[in-house]
Structure 1
Amino acid sequence: MDTSNDLSRRTVMAASLSLVAVAAPSLVQPAAAAKAAPSQHAGSGIVTVKDGVEIFYKDWGPREAQPIVFHHGWPLSSDDWDAQLLFFLDKGYRVIAHDRRGHGRSSQTDTGNEMDTYAADVAALAAHLNLKGAIHVGHSTGGGEVARYVARHGGGGRVAKAVLIGAVPPIMLKTPANPGGLPLDVFDGFRAGVAANRAQFFRDIPAGPFYGFNRPGAKVSEGVIDNWWRQGMMGSAKAHYDCVKAFSETDFTEDLKAIDVPVLLMHGDDDQVVPIADSALLGIKLLKKGELKVYKGFPHGMATTHADVINPDLLAFFKA
């Protein structure tokens, strides 16, 4: 038995352990310090509004840059703005997008699923983030949310400009005052689809009219369809059901008249979900500082299918 070699090995091991013990505090201290001092810019967060509902939001980019706030359509989430968030982040803007109550990662509330509360939730988010001179961009239902928010909460320098893309204002429902609107049974069909088989309904919409994939020669993206389904199924069936009334029956006429910042209306003339004749073509007549851009053959979800066209046009409006 070679005791000298065994002793040598034990001596080396003991010395090594001593070195680790001495070095350990300096190795663990930076991690502990980082944990104790959280980042001032986490990239996402939650704001709790007055009725206790938690609103999830993303907040990317430099704090000092002009903020752009994106408002998604029904029944989606802030993820629907991926192509815009990355584009404008690269252009140096601060980009913010939230999940409307009942949608995405926000609380699956059974109350407050109407436009006044949606707008109040945005006001709470804007106050939480201390937004000034923001540009608000809304698609479809989100366009209605933008109109109501800017009209009621956008004063005092909070809002610089607004954009409504394929948006529901002035009002979608056919009424005596809006004879060109869609009949109530169209929206009853939406509610029936949500209640009966939401999972299938949320496949049929993106696979068909939303992105124009039902048109002859359309280039269909299964990934886009799957992503729409994924976002929709994250939300609350109750909130989605209630939101149909919010996006179809809310009258935004007075909101559009009240807005005094520049507003860009962007609409595809092949929008099968929010027909242009009863939305943008009427809304432009109500705005004090409105501009209308019509896109030939573009579908409702054109911010996704034609982001290469929509994003540069948005940028030009922002810089004008």
Structure 2
Amino acid sequence: MIEYSRGRSEGHFQNWCLVGRVAIRTRVIARMFCASTACTADDASMILCIPFLASDPDQFDPRWIENGWGVEANLFDRDAIMDTDVWQGVRATVRRVARDERPPAFTFHFPVNDCDYLADPVVERRLFEAIDLVADNGLDGLVLHSNRIRSVAQWRQLDVEKERQQYVEYVHALADRVGDASFWIGLENMPITGNDALELDPLLVFPEDFDGLSVGNIGITWDFCHYSYSVYVAELLAAGELVEDADCYPNVRSSGYLDFARLGPMTVHHHFSSFEGVATRAGGVCREGALPTDGVVPESVNEQAFALIAKSERARTVTLEIREHDYHNRQAVYEAARWCEQRLASQ
């Protein structure tokens, strides 16, 4: 995952008003893009979105809006929501961008690292506050991982399917509480392992893992970089490679690079980029955020995948998660945007 910088109780959801506002606001914002569950390819064109670190507002560039691009405000680490001053600053930045810049699309990415909202009621409270933030400011939606990151050794002691079922129950309870809202919550797929092969979250990796998880306002944020990496590693394992790391993968499925197409009716948002390298315990590292012309996966595969993204049945936004040397002086993401716009123009 690119970083732009540097056991709940049964009654949790019944006590919604104790951890947030009594109800999520359901203002319907009239905008040029589709945020509803009924959006189709004829309703709006695909909007490219540029991500920025929400705790570093200087990364945001108003010229993105002038170019017709949307934005995604990202957080990655627990500190960003646990430090009161930082969290207040994040909310102020989101409010300012929504009010003053009026981007054609605006999404918020809830943090991943050490942010298990199923087990930690403090993190869950921040999640509810983030949902309020999205609702109050008319954002399109909130990107959410399952956030069950554990070490490889810990996952060897757990039943992945049992853990996934627990998460499905949580998601259905959450859907009941946001069912009338005008925004979506997009559950994002994780890569088959972490970038250093030491930690992972295997609950939502392959298309089959999302069965039963699209309900009401809750759909899928499909990250093609994460997925293409997972498919590539699964192919290596099937070919008898990565033998020393074979026990690092509690969730391996045979899947093709374009098999995510079956999730079209459930997908509300996309992330797009390529990757370089493979994570291994011997020191190999996967680097996400490569341009679609670079990386391990051939450009032709990225082109086919982007063509499917552009024709999404429901999702009308795609965030370009492109790695940069300097996130205050973007260059690579503009190259990726040009690549995408050329292909959108030829659709």
- Give TM-score scaled by structure 2 length: 0.36
Q: Rg larger in 1 or in 2?
A: 1
Larger helix fraction of residues: 1
